A = this chain, B = another copy of it.
């Protein structure tokens, strides 16, 4: 697992304590929303502004160091597992999210039957259901 500092350099981004801390925070908290990331960062470096958190998360997602997931009905979440086309399983009751590998192998597992002239760059899959804990209730 590469050092945050090195990752930022490789992408040609300025290396700041905030960005490194955000990267580490997401690593420690997979599928965390922005406010949880902010808190985790504060635990590490003291303070960070809300804006810096949003800026970092957006930039890092754009550059491919993070992946942003935006399930219906909840705030955006982030993870460091990028570039492997995996999908997510979300609990309708508690919002818990877990990774699932693509059912059909490693390659992008979907192609639209009729693309209507669109230039498609991603097929996003979200499975909705209830997690084991919530089923008990």
Contact = CB atoms under 8 A, between A and B. Distances in A.
A121 B128 contact: yes
Interface magnitude class on chain A: 35 or more
Contact of A116 (B89, B114, B119): B89
A101 interface: yes
Interface stretch (A8-16, A43-51, A105-113): A105-113
A127 B122 contact: yes
A107 to B, nearest CB: 14
Q: How many copies does the complex hold?
A: 2
Interface in A104-137: 110-132, 135
Given A73-B70, A76-B72, A100 B116 contact: yes
Nearest to A91: B118
